[in-house]
Structure 1
Amino acid sequence: MSRFQEVKKAFSAAQKKYDGYYSQCAYFASAFSRALIERFEWPRELVTWERPGAGPVAHVERALLLEDDTFWHLGLRLKLQEGTSPGDDLRIALRFKKTGDHYLLELFPGVEFEVREPTPEGFRPALDALFEEIAMHYDRGLDLFLENRAGKLRIPFLVPEPKPLPASGNGNGNGKD
């Protein structure tokens, strides 16, 4: 076998290894998505995924991006109802990786969960923490923002878009009443 053929063989083996790793991680991401929808009873159509730097994708597996930090990155967007402005959506940047016989899942910077099996029970601690953060976001977000302590929130508080001004009612269109 020539050296060229040896290199091609090594490349093929590496490609197969990567494909296997990707497959395991895509399954993990899909299982997380299903567990989140089931545990929260969140309507499926209000849960979307985003590929970092590319925007929304149809399937969670398409959102996966392997970064230099060796973690898979993806964005989660949760809507409370259809037709709301994007500023009303909850956006969470997730990252995870398989290491040995388990996964490390990071929902928020510095907050990692060890997931032994990608099952609803395996995701329970992470999903419970996500619920607590969402509840705090809505319960205390405005107060912490106004107190200049929004940094305590793991889901960033975004100032809502201003409500449209009422029509002037004078009909001249110059905005003076």
Structure 2
Amino acid sequence: MRALWPALTSHQETRGMPEAKTKYDEICLAYRKSRKTFLDYEYLCQVFARDLVDGMIEYFDWPQDQEITYIPLGEELDPNNRFYALSGAMQMDDESFWHFGLELTVQEPGGSYPLPFLMSFFIKKVGPHFIVKLGPQGKEIRIHEDRRGDLTPFYDAVFVQIMSFFARQYQDAVTKGLKEPGFIMLSPTADNL
């Protein structure tokens, strides 16, 4: 797994920045420092999200020839331009969670009747913990930044949710089109049911 950037000390944050000569300069430096802190936070969450997804795909032994698509949640999808990098799909909600959709495809044995489904992940970092929610109303799962290599219980929880969706909610999703977004739903790109 990739290492996260270490937190910068106050000295490191100001090193290389010009000294403020006016009140305006002080305001601009405060903005620069705040913006850098936010961008570092965004990057940490992106790296964690990528590690989380990559680890989950590996844990599930997902076929390597199948496409994995990141989708921004809450946006109309342009069928001609629906491929996003994770960083482009991640957006922040009003509770400071970065959220994104992950589209995977399941199929009948032999590759028939492929069905894309969408999982929605919400991630933020508070102190030394990443907080992950499976769906907008999901329970918050705390993962210590030093325990990122041991995510088997998290992956098992995702597996249980996927199995539950196909056992209990799939028929309603197909026939009624589940209106409330949950952790798992049929992808907006699903057209062959």
TM-score higher than 0.5: yes
Partner residue in 1 for 2:159: 131
CA offset at residue 144 of structure 1? 7.1
Instruction: Kindly provide the CA deviation profile for residues 100-150 of structure 1, in whole angstroms up to 9, marking residues without a partner as x.
Output: 1011100132322111137341x32221111111112223335777xx9x8
After TM superposition, the structure 1 = structure 2 runs for residues 1-177 of structure 1, keeping only pairs within 5 Å, are: 1-44=21-64, 45-52=66-73, 53=75, 55=77, 56-81=82-107, 88-108=115-135, 109-117=137-145, 119-121=148-150, 123-141=151-169, 155-156=184-185
Counterpart Cα distance in 1 of 2:141 and 2:172: 26
Tell which structure's C-alpha radius of gyration is larger. 1
* Structure with more helix by fraction: 1
Partner residue in 1 for 2:9: none
- Point out where structure 2 has 5 or more consecutive residues left out of the alignment: 1-20
> Percent sequence identity over matched residues?
24
Number of aligned positions between the proteins? 156
Counterpart Cα distance in 2 of 1:10 and 1:142: 51
TM-score, scaled to structure 1: 0.72
1:30/1:60 contact within 8 Å kept: yes
Counterpart Cα distance in 2 of 1:15 and 1:4: 16
- Alignment CA distance shift 1:98-1:83 (3 Å): farther
- Residue 79 of structure 1 aligns to a residue whose secondary structure is strand
Provide the aligned C-alpha RMSD in A: 3.2
Partner residue in 1 for 2:4: none
- Residue 69 of structure 1 aligns to a residue whose secondary structure is coil
- Residue 103 of structure 1 aligns to a residue whose secondary structure is strand
- Greater relative contact order (CA < 8 Å, ≥ 6 in sequence): 2
User: Any runs of at least 4 consecutive aligned residues in structure 1 with deviations exceeding 4 A, and if so which?
Assistant: 81-85, 142-145, 160-163
Amino acid at match of 1:76: L
